[in-house]
Amino acid sequence: SAVISQKPSRDICQRGTSLTIQCQVDSQVTMMFWYRQQPGQSLTLIATANQGSEATYESGFVIDKFPISRPNLTFSTLTVSNMSPEDSSIYLCSVGTLDGSDTQYFGPGTRLTVL
Protein backbone atom coordinates (compact mmCIF):
# COMPACT_ATOMS: atom_id res chain seq x y z
CA SER A 1 0.00 0.00 0.00
CA ALA A 2 1.03 3.64 -0.41
CA VAL A 3 2.03 6.12 2.26
CA ILE A 4 -0.64 8.81 2.49
CA SER A 5 -0.15 11.99 4.50
CA GLN A 6 -2.51 14.83 5.31
CA LYS A 7 -1.87 18.35 6.51
CA PRO A 8 -2.85 19.74 8.91
CA SER A 9 -3.56 16.84 11.26
CA ARG A 10 -5.92 19.05 13.24
CA ASP A 11 -7.05 22.65 13.38
CA ILE A 12 -9.40 24.93 15.27
CA CYS A 13 -10.99 27.61 13.10
CA GLN A 14 -13.35 30.51 13.49
CA ARG A 15 -16.79 30.61 11.92
CA GLY A 16 -16.81 32.17 8.44
CA THR A 17 -13.20 31.33 7.59
CA SER A 18 -11.86 28.70 5.19
CA LEU A 19 -9.36 25.87 5.62
CA THR A 20 -7.44 23.98 2.95
CA ILE A 21 -6.48 20.38 3.67
CA GLN A 22 -3.68 18.75 1.72
CA CYS A 23 -3.33 15.08 0.80
CA GLN A 24 -0.02 13.73 -0.48
CA VAL A 25 0.69 10.20 -1.72
CA ASP A 26 4.14 8.71 -2.17
CA SER A 27 3.25 7.11 -5.53
CA GLN A 28 1.11 8.00 -8.50
CA VAL A 29 -2.51 6.96 -8.14
CA THR A 30 -5.48 7.12 -10.45
CA MET A 31 -8.25 7.69 -7.96
CA MET A 32 -8.35 10.06 -4.99
CA PHE A 33 -11.37 10.61 -2.78
CA TRP A 34 -12.42 12.93 0.03
CA TYR A 35 -14.63 11.76 2.91
CA ARG A 36 -16.18 13.35 5.98
CA GLN A 37 -16.62 11.54 9.28
CA GLN A 38 -18.80 13.48 11.67
CA PRO A 39 -18.65 12.74 15.41
CA GLY A 40 -20.07 9.32 16.17
CA GLN A 41 -20.92 8.66 12.54
CA SER A 42 -19.43 6.74 9.67
CA LEU A 43 -17.66 7.95 6.58
CA THR A 44 -19.53 9.87 3.88
CA LEU A 45 -18.03 10.45 0.47
CA ILE A 46 -17.77 14.14 -0.41
CA ALA A 47 -16.27 13.89 -3.88
CA THR A 48 -13.92 12.11 -6.22
CA ALA A 49 -10.88 14.22 -7.12
CA ASN A 50 -10.18 13.83 -10.82
CA GLN A 51 -6.75 14.68 -12.19
CA GLY A 52 -6.98 17.36 -14.85
CA SER A 53 -10.71 17.92 -14.55
CA GLU A 54 -13.33 19.07 -12.06
CA ALA A 55 -14.13 16.91 -9.07
CA THR A 56 -17.26 14.77 -9.04
CA TYR A 57 -19.43 15.66 -6.04
CA GLU A 58 -21.89 13.44 -4.20
CA SER A 59 -25.44 14.48 -3.43
CA GLY A 60 -25.50 17.10 -0.70
CA PHE A 61 -22.02 18.45 -1.39
CA VAL A 62 -21.29 21.40 -3.69
CA ILE A 63 -18.18 22.86 -5.23
CA ASP A 64 -18.69 26.32 -3.73
CA LYS A 65 -18.56 24.85 -0.22
CA PHE A 66 -15.91 22.16 -0.83
CA PRO A 67 -13.64 23.18 -3.73
CA ILE A 68 -11.15 20.47 -4.63
CA SER A 69 -7.96 20.58 -6.63
CA ARG A 70 -6.02 17.67 -8.16
CA PRO A 71 -3.01 19.14 -9.96
CA ASN A 72 -1.17 15.84 -10.43
CA LEU A 73 -1.32 12.11 -9.67
CA THR A 74 0.12 12.37 -6.15
CA PHE A 75 -1.56 15.42 -4.60
CA SER A 76 -5.00 16.85 -3.88
CA THR A 77 -6.49 19.58 -1.72
CA LEU A 78 -9.93 20.01 -0.17
CA THR A 79 -11.04 23.45 1.00
CA VAL A 80 -13.83 23.82 3.53
CA SER A 81 -15.24 27.29 2.81
CA ASN A 82 -17.20 29.74 4.95
CA MET A 83 -17.12 27.32 7.86
CA SER A 84 -19.80 26.88 10.50
CA PRO A 85 -19.75 24.68 13.63
CA GLU A 86 -21.64 22.02 11.63
CA ASP A 87 -18.48 21.54 9.56
CA SER A 88 -16.65 20.23 12.62
CA SER A 89 -15.61 16.78 11.54
CA ILE A 90 -12.75 14.54 10.53
CA TYR A 91 -11.84 14.89 6.86
CA LEU A 92 -10.15 11.93 5.23
CA CYS A 93 -8.56 11.43 1.86
CA SER A 94 -8.26 8.01 0.29
CA VAL A 95 -6.60 6.60 -2.79
CA GLY A 96 -7.57 3.68 -4.94
CA THR A 97 -6.38 1.29 -7.63
CA LEU A 98 -2.90 0.97 -6.19
CA ASP A 99 -2.71 -2.74 -6.87
CA GLY A 100 -5.26 -3.13 -9.63
CA SER A 101 -8.01 -3.85 -7.11
CA ASP A 102 -10.83 -1.59 -5.98
CA THR A 103 -9.44 -1.28 -2.47
CA GLN A 104 -9.17 2.25 -1.08
CA TYR A 105 -6.41 3.20 1.34
CA PHE A 106 -6.94 6.05 3.75
CA GLY A 107 -4.83 8.87 5.09
CA PRO A 108 -4.64 9.66 8.82
CA GLY A 109 -7.34 12.32 8.65
CA THR A 110 -7.66 16.00 9.57
CA ARG A 111 -9.66 16.81 12.68
CA LEU A 112 -11.41 20.15 12.21
CA THR A 113 -13.16 22.07 14.97
CA VAL A 114 -15.10 25.21 14.06
CA LEU A 115 -15.94 27.64 16.85
Partner 1 sequence: EDQVTQSPEALRLQEGESSSLNCSYTVSGLRGLFWYRQDPGKGPEFLFTLYSAGEEKEKERLKATLTKKESFLHITAPKPEDSATYLCAVQVAGTYKYIFGTGTRLKVLA
Q: For binding to partner 1 (CB under 8 A), which residues are involved?
A: 1, 4, 31, 33, 41-45, 48, 58, 92, 96, 101-109, 111
- Minimum Å distance from CB 49 to partner 1? 11
- Minimum Å distance from CB 11 to partner 1? 14
Measured between alpha carbons, how far is 45 from 92 in angstroms, rounded to an integer?
9
Which CB sits closer to partner 1, 93 or 114?
93
Measured between alpha carbons, how far is 87 from 77 in angstroms, rounded to an integer?
17
- Minimum Å distance from CB 5 to partner 1? 11
Which CB sits closer to partner 1, 14 or 39?
39
Among residues 19, 5, 105, 109, the alpha carbon closest in space to that of 67 is found at 19
Q: How far is CA 6 from CA 15, 59, 60, 71, in A?
A: 22, 25, 24, 16
Which CB sits closer to partner 1, 27 or 84?
27
